[in-house]
């Protein structure tokens, strides 16, 4: 049986590890020398730290293409053309071949990360402290930045939730209904599917993960239809919203083949919502047990 990927690998650590790996590649002299003119190679040994804002906007050859992008495509940003062909034309043709948009809003998370990696590596590489500890710290900070603002917003609110008075009878009825709905939602282990995609590169499992996402969406709507004792309404809403958000998160994860970073963000969201779902079930069970609805 395939074991589920560890939290450290598939959440924040997964993104940080990817960033760290790319940093090592970018920081290597062999890699850097591929994109350097002779003058740049000489200047390589000169300690220099530039402002992040300046780095992202820097355009050495004044062709309206930032240096980071020209280097990304293997071009020398200090000249306007290569073999008589303008860099703007070379990049446009390469983007067209790969169907990559030039619009900021159309950049994938992975493309944005590529840009940030170049900027960050330029800062680290240009400092006298560009060692493993420094690179590691920058990697973790970058992972934090790419995780920020990715929290999912709850789609359901309690205004239309059917609630009843809290007593032994309503709690027992609720628990039976909850148990029935959850059992019907399926028992497919999406963690095993995710493990096959991430650790084995088995992209044939993407369809199954999307199907599981749809099951969570249906589960959320079915849960929302249950009559809920007012005493546990807050826990029930956490259950509903976390189920729906797992649908959103798993759908995001299925983009991993085209956008690796977005896929990892989707898993991080899924893990958060999965923990929230489990906590809501625990809170509900704890509440009903106090009313002697549940027994050991």
HEC states along 85-143? EEHHHHHHHHHHHHCCCCCHHHCCHHHHHHHHHHHHHHHHHHCCCCCHHHHHHHHHHHH
The reply to whether 129 and 172 lie within a common domain is: no
The reply to whether 102 and 204 lie within a common domain is: no
| Dist. CA 35–CA 59, nearest whole Å | 15
Number of helices and strands (H, E) in the chain?
14, 4
Closest to 228 measured CA to CA, from 156, 154, 158, 155: 158
| Tokens 């009825």 belong to residue | 173
Domain boundary residue, one of 147, 181, 196:
147
The reply to whether 65 and 186 lie within a common domain is: no
The reply to whether 179 and 84 lie within a common domain is: no
Domain boundary residue, one of 99, 114, 147:
147
The reply to whether 204 and 93 lie within a common domain is: no
The reply to whether 281 and 234 lie within a common domain is: yes
Tell me what pLDDT residue 91 has. Answer: 82
The reply to whether 102 and 185 lie within a common domain is: no
236 in any annotated domain: yes
Its domain, for residue 194, covers: 158-290
Tell me what pLDDT residue 293 has. Answer: 63
149 φψ region: left (φ > 0), alpha (ψ -120 to 50), beta (else): left
Report residue 154 as tokens. 């709850």
268 in any annotated domain: yes
| Dist. CA 122–CA 124, nearest whole Å | 6
178 in any annotated domain: yes
User: pLDDT below 50 — which residues of the chain?
Assistant: 1-13, 20, 24-27, 31, 34, 45-52, 119-120, 123-124, 126-131, 135, 295-296
Which residues does 128 contact at the CB level (< 8 Å), separation at least 6?
Answer: 47
The reply to whether 81 and 197 lie within a common domain is: no
| Dist. CA 257–CA 110, nearest whole Å | 11
Report residue 259 as tokens. 């956008």
29 in any annotated domain: yes
Which residues does 188 contact at the CB level (< 8 Å), separation at least 6?
Answer: 208, 211, 212, 215
Tell me what pLDDT residue 15 has. Answer: 52
The reply to whether 132 and 51 lie within a common domain is: yes
The reply to whether 195 and 276 lie within a common domain is: yes
Tell me what pLDDT residue 262 has. Answer: 79
Domain boundary residue, one of 124, 147, 170:
147
296 in any annotated domain: no
Tell me what pLDDT residue 200 has. Answer: 80
User: Cβ(266)–Cβ(254) under 8 Å?
Assistant: yes
The reply to whether 211 and 109 lie within a common domain is: no
239 in any annotated domain: yes
Closest to 210 measured CA to CA, from 197, 200, 224: 197
Domain count, the chain: 2
Q: Within a 10 A sphere around the Cβ of 283, how many other Cβ atoms?
A: 16
Tell me what pLDDT residue 105 has. Answer: 56
2 in any annotated domain: no
| Tokens 């809920």 belong to residue | 228
The reply to whether 20 and 102 lie within a common domain is: yes
1 in any annotated domain: no
């Amino acid at each position: 049986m395939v074991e589920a990927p560890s939290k450290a690998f598939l959440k924040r650590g997964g993104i940080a590890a990817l960033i760290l790996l790319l940093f090592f590649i970018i920081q290597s002299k062999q890699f850097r020398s591929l994109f350097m003119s002779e003058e740049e190679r000489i200047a390589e040994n000169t300690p220099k730290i530039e402002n992040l804002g300046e780095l992202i906007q820097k355009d050495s050859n004044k062709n309206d293409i930032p240096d980071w992008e020209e280097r990304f495509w293997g071009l020398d940003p200090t000249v306007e053309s290569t073999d008589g062909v303008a860099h703007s034309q070379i990049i446009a043709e390469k983007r067209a071949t790969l169907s990559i948009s030039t619009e900021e809003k159309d950049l994938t998370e992975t493309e944005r990360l590529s840009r940030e990696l170049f900027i960050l590596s330029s800062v680290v590489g240009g400092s006298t402290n560009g060692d493993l500890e420094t690179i590691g710290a920058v990697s973790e900070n970058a992972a934090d930045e790419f995780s920020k603002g990715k929290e999912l917003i709850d789609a359901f609110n309690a205004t239309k939730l059917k609630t009843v008075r809290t007593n032994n009878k309503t709690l027992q009825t609720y628990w039976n209904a909850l148990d029935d709905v959850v059992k019907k939602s399926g028992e497919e282990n999406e963690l095993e599917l995710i493990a096959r995609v991430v650790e084995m590169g088995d992209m044939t499992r993407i369809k199954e993960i999307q199907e599981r996402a749809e099951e969570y969406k249906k589960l959320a709507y079915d849960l929302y239809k249950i009559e809920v004792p007012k005493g546990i309404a807050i826990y029930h809403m956490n259950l509903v919203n976390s189920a729906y958000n797992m649908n959103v998160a798993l759908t995001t994860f299925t983009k991993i083949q085209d956008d690796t970073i977005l896929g990892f963000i989707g898993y991080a969201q899924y893990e958060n919502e999965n923990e929230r779902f489990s906590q809501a079930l625990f809170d509900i069970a704890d509440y009903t047990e106090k009313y002697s609805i549940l027994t050991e």
